[in-house]
Amino acid sequence: MSRSLRHGGRAVVFVDGVRTPFGKAGPTGVYAETRADDLVVRVIRELLRRNPALPADRVDEVAIAATTQIGDQGLTIGRTAALLAGLPTTVPGYAIDRMCAGAMTAVTTTASGIAFGAYDVAIAGGVEHMGRHPMGEGADPNPRFFSEELVDGSALVMGSTAENLHDRFPHLTKERADAFALASQQKYAKAVANGQIGPELVPVATRSAEHGWGYATADEPPRPGTTLEGLAGLKTPFRPHGHVTAGNAAGLNDGATGCLLAAEEVARELGLTAGMRLVGYGFAGVEPEVMGVGPVPSTEKALARTGLSIGDMGLFELNEAFAVQVLAFLDHFGLADDDERVNPWGGAIAVGHPLASSGVRLMTQLSRQFAERPDVRYGLTAMCVGLGMGGTVIWENPNWEGFTE
């Protein structure tokens, strides 16, 4: 019996997920002169192309996340991207902001609507063009945050919050963080070579006033030549003699993701294949200055609400905003740094972390891993979130060999 019905509503399935190749933010990045909303449009169109059994007018909602909702990431991007992608004008859309967990929240919000019966089918995803819109662009934090000491002064600098996590857990050394970062690069390279990463990528036409048109077909951030010696010698920009470097953290990136969600009965009716079933989810808050520990309480909440344990999880897709953040999660739950169930195809340290888009990258990879692993029943996607939060979503593998008719 599937646990995905514990919430009492309709079962919700993750049908398909795609993403653009991720680029490096900045003037030399592959998407430097490409609009953020055009990245989302490419993703939506590809979801429909790959799932021709789905009539476009059966899409009930489009939820797209962006952390910096300004410029070409503003103007209710879920609606504008839906129109630009050619969906019928009857299909509504909206924008979501939960910083790094934006796309994750787009999924949980629309999935909840499906479970409740408000929707049958939804598209959820996220975009971040950090080259055009640096994190926090145009923000005006209330001075009370600091004048009344509501948060520590380091809370708005994500790298500083990672250094704070090293302070709180001194056994999470820089050496452990560097070793984890190297493994991420190596696992990603192996997954690409094996063809495990690549089929979900949507090639994107790019433009440059100087070089003309281009075609993005592969992720730009990975550093295949990474070594422990090289990582050890990198600068620690957030603190003199610190622990956090450009090598053991995700970079600044551009990219978009999207996925197709449906009620299981509707997916069956339309002939859509279910990649995963939603079991449950949880979001939690922590002190903003140690935001990286957020996935710990969010995972505890999700496990408690689904009646599952960490031992039931056969696969973990954890967002590698910083190596220390993942290590804190692993230590808390008694998992080894090199546990084979954790990020088996590498993570954000290698592939990049375009903030609000990353949650659906985790889900897409987990879904593809489920297809390879009928021995695994449950998997988990989790991430830390700026301003002191964590998010966790638990999924069930419909290919699990233990299911009986």
Please give the C-alpha separations between residue 315 and each of 108, 244, 367, 375, 378, in angstroms, as whole numbers.
Answer: 19, 27, 10, 11, 7
Q: How far is CA 28 from the centre of its chain?
A: 24
Residue 165 has pLDDT above 70, yes or no: yes
- Residue 231 is encoded by which pair of tokens? 């990582």
Residue 221 has pLDDT above 50, yes or no: yes
User: pLDDT tens digits for 4-36?
Assistant: 445 568 999 999 999 999 999 999 999 999 999
Distance CA 61, CA 260 (A): 10
Residue 317 has pLDDT above 50, yes or no: yes
pLDDT at res. 405: 53
Residue 202 has pLDDT above 90, yes or no: yes
Residue 1 has pLDDT above 70, yes or no: no
By annotation, the residues acting in catalysis are: 100, 353, 384
Distance CA 107, CA 105 (A): 5
AA identity, residue 161: T
Domains of the chain: 3-133+250-396 (3.40.47.10)
Secondary structure (3-state) at 348: helix
pLDDT at res. 146: 87
- Give the residue carrying structure tokens 């070594």: 227
Q: Is the pTM of this model over 0.85?
A: yes
pLDDT at res. 5: 44
> Mean per-residue pLDDT for 79-108?
98
Residue 403 pLDDT grade (very low, low, confident, very high; cuts 50, 70, 90): confident
* H helical segments located in 196-285: 228-232, 264-270
> Mean per-residue pLDDT for 251-275?
97
Residue 100 has pLDDT above 70, yes or no: yes
Distance CA 25, CA 251 (A): 8
Please give the C-alpha separations between residue 289 and each of 70, 154, 164, 251, in angstroms, as whole numbers.
Answer: 25, 6, 7, 20
pLDDT at res. 211: 87
Burial state string for 336-371 with b = 16 or more CB within 10 A and e = fewer than 16: ebeeebbbbbbbbbbbbbbbbbbbbbbbbbbbbbbe
Distance CA 42, CA 40 (A): 5
pLDDT at res. 7: 56
Distance CA 134, CA 385 (A): 16
Closest Cα to residue 123, out of 75, 66, 63, 56? 63
Residue 277 has pLDDT above 70, yes or no: yes
pLDDT at res. 144: 94
